[in-house]
Structures are given as C-alpha cells and as structure tokens.
Amino acid sequence: MAFSTFLTRSALCGILTVTIAACGNGTVAETASAQKPAENLAEQSIAAADVKDVGAPSQVWGRVEAAPINYKIETVADDIDHPWSLAFLPEGGMLLSERGGLLKHITDDGEVSVVKDFATIDDAPVHTKDRAQAGLFDIALHPDFADNRQVFISYAAKVDKGLNTLVVRRFTYSKDGTLDAGQQIFAAKPPRKESHHYGGRIIFPGDGTLMIPHGEAYNKREQAQTLDNHFGKILRVNLDGSIPQDNPFIGKKDALPEIWSYGHRNPQGIILGADGKVYENEHGAKGGDEINVIEPGVNYGWPAVTHGIDYSGAAISPFKTLPGMRQSLVHFVPSIAPAGMVQYSGDAFPELQGDLLLPALALKHVRHVEMKADGSLGEQREMFGELDSRFRDVEISPDGYIYLLIEERNGPNGKVVRAVPN
C-alpha cells in the first residue's frame, strides 16, 4: 500500500503562505510571550576572562515562534510502540527500533515486519521497563555499510543480579533481511539497577571510532565528575571495541580509558557536524537542557554547574559557571527535553540547509536551530507543534524528507510520519 496522505493545519498554512503561528494552534499560541534572542543572553555578568576554560556564556532560549516553512505530513507507519531510532538502508526501506526491544523493517511502501526481538539475545537480552527509559535504542549503519553490511545497535541489557547496563553490539544485516547473532563491543561500567538516563544514541565521529554517550542513571549524578566510571560520560571506542590510543585519559590513574568527555547528565542527541565538530544535546533537570560542542578531555559541568534546578524546585548547584568546566552553547528554559538531533542536509527544504533539528518530548515540537557557517547558533523556531506529539527522533531521508518518530507516552500507539514539501 502507498503512504496515506493528509493535509495538516501547517500544510493549509503553507497554501495560504502564512506561518503556523497564525493558524490558531493552542500550543504555538503560547509563543506570544517568546523572547527575542538579544534579550536572552544569559550570564552577562560573568566575565569570561575571570574563569578558565568555560567558553563563551551560554545563551538561554525559551518558547519561540513557529517556523514558516511549507510542508505536508504523510503517515509512514502506525501502531509503532515507542519508536526510538530510524536508519535508511541504501537498497531502500529502513530499520526502526522500538524501545520495547523489537528491531523492525519498514519498506518504502510502509509495510512493517520484525527483524529481531532483542529479548532473544542469549548473552545480553534487552532490559525493558514500562514507563521508564530502558530498552532498545539507536541504530547506526557502518560508514561502509553498503559494502560490509555492518550495523551497530545500542540498548539496555540485562546483567546478573537484577542489574542492567548500556551496551553496543555489532551485527551484520544481510540483504535478505536477517540480522546475525552479533558481538558485543561495549558495556558501560559499572552496571546499574536504575532504568533511567542511559543516553543511548551512538555516532561515528569520522575518525574510525564510535562515540557512545552514556547518562548518569539519574541517581548517580555525582559520579559524572569522577573518571573511575562511565556515568555521565561520552565514551569513544574503536569499532571492534578496543581503546583508541589517543583517548584523553589513557594512562591517567583511576580513569577509565574509554572516556572522551565528562560532566554530562543525560545526552540525547549527538552528531558529527558538517564543520567536523561533534555537537551534543542533553537533558538538564528543570530548565537546564543544553547544546554543547564536544571536545576530548573536557568537563561539561554536571552536576557542579547547571542552569537548571531540580524537579522539586530545589537547587542542584549554586554555580552556573566554575573554572575548568565548559559552558554549553545554549540552554533551554523551560526545558524542551530534546531526544535526538540532526543537521539538515537535503534538497527538499533548502531553507533548513545546515541547520539543527531537535525533536522535543516535553514541549512537543521539533526545535529548528539556525547554524551559521562558523558553527555559531542563531535564531530558533518551533516546528510541527500542531501535531501535539512527543517527538523521539528526527531523521532525514536520502531525498531530504524529514522523518519524525512520535511516541505515545504510556501506550503503544506511536507512529512514523514524514514531512514533505507542500
């Protein structure tokens, strides 16, 4: 069957050549109070010269206007239980992960089939927990996938004694649609009992390695500041799981050699930018979500430095900056809960070229962040707010269409939709 197509409010707006915000959407209407960026520069009282290695002051962004681009939304697949990640196959079709543990295949015509149930992996079955964050996470096709058919998949795996941990496993995905038994190349240390804050996304940073952000398990935030564990770290390993000899803490006493950067809370989006830098976003607590540029050996501050407060309203730290702890590029107040990130590249929406798109869970939109040629971040807009959905992931297809993974918070009725030019 072909993709079903329906016009959304935004598509109608497109026909009328007006912005989504002018169409009376309740969520976007709240942006009437959006502040302009010039009024939003945070921490102007902090002189960068007074502190070491903090970078420029972090910009704060609140609710913003809707992006005035023209598109229509098409449903790709529905009845998807907590979709988490999507990867486009060179032969057409795509692989999709469901947090509940199923890896699925979707044809270009929208037919869905199960490739593998990760509960059946004998030596490391998937750990899932209703209404928590554990399960099957990211799918990353090897940069030479078309030749070697290797795919890397991250997930929470069961470990002895009721514990679990983030693992990455390397598989071969055959052209006949089967996945081999695979081989585990990474397991975060030590394992945990918690089912929150895994990070979970993985990328190839372009140097023959794999980068693996790992969250601080919610309850282990102090450990994000010590190097003898993997909580609140971005890890970097070779594709066979061995340690790259240029990792920054090799040979340092009491430091794990996989660590690339530290002081992270719950990294969610990570990309290799077109400028060759690694950009990451992470959940703060209340009001502390961040976008960072990731560099080796750098301390990104959590929980000693944060722009957020705890969900209870309690302070987490009195410090928004400290010597030796890098400031984010931007932070979000209120938190948008970014769940991924892409840098747009494609022909379908030339007005988005080179910009960042962040799917947001809590504030139910996709945040469009302008990225300038020098890597600095400019204006922001909200997209797809009229869908009133929790966006788990956003991916760009080879033809430049914007694929959106939408989840139902406590139910199985998620879906994959795509935005195409109107």
| Region binding Ca ion by CB under 5 A among candidate stretches 58-66, 90-98, 300-308, 342-350 | 300-308
197 is catalytic: yes
Nearest approach, Cβ of residue 370 and Ca ion (Å):
22
Query: Is residue 303 near Ca ion by the rule CB under 5 A?
Result: no
Tokens of residue 65, six digits: 């206007």
Q: Which of 281, 259, 299 is nearest to 335 (CA)?
A: 281
| Region binding Ca ion by CB under 5 A among candidate stretches 9-17, 169-177, 294-302, 340-348 | 294-302
Nearest approach, Cβ of residue 394 and Ca ion (Å):
23
Nearest approach, Cβ of residue 298 and Ca ion (Å):
10
Restricting to residues 327-386, which ones interact with Ca ion according to CB under 5 A?
none
Cα–Cα distance, 93 to 149 (Å, whole number):
14
Segment 98-101 long-range contacts (CB within 8 Å, at least 24 positions apart):
98/135, 98/136, 99/128, 99/133, 99/134, 99/135, 99/136, 99/137, 100/128, 100/135, 100/136, 101/126, 101/128, 101/135, 101/136, 101/155
C-beta of 10 vs 281, nearer to Ca ion: 281
State whether residue 151 is helix, strand or coil: strand
Beta strands in 81-190 (DSSP E): 83-88, 94-98, 102-106, 112-117, 136-141, 150-158, 164-172, 183-187
Query: Is residue 300 near Ca ion by the rule CB under 5 A?
Result: yes
| Region binding Ca ion by CB under 5 A among candidate stretches 228-236, 271-279, 297-305, 385-393 | 297-305
Q: Which residue is nearest to Ca ion (CB)?
A: 301
Q: Which of 274, 377, 339 is nearest to 83 (CA)?
A: 339
Q: Which residue has the tokens 């991924």?
A: 340
Per-residue contact track with Ca ion, 33 to 72, x per CB under 5 A? ----------------------------------------
Q: Which of 82, 127, 197, 331 is catalytic?
A: 197
C-beta of 173 vs 300, nearer to Ca ion: 300
Nearest approach, Cβ of residue 327 and Ca ion (Å):
7
Q: How many CB atoms lie within 10 A of CB 122?
A: 6
H runs (alpha helix) in 96-242? 145-148
Choosing from 14, 269, 301, 359, the residue that interacts with Ca ion (CB under 5 A) is: 301
Query: Is residue 267 near Ca ion by the rule CB under 5 A?
Result: no
C-beta of 156 vs 369, nearer to Ca ion: 369
Nearest approach, Cβ of residue 215 and Ca ion (Å):
13
Residues making contact with Ca ion (CB under 5 A): 300-301
User: Which residues form the catalytic set?
Assistant: 197
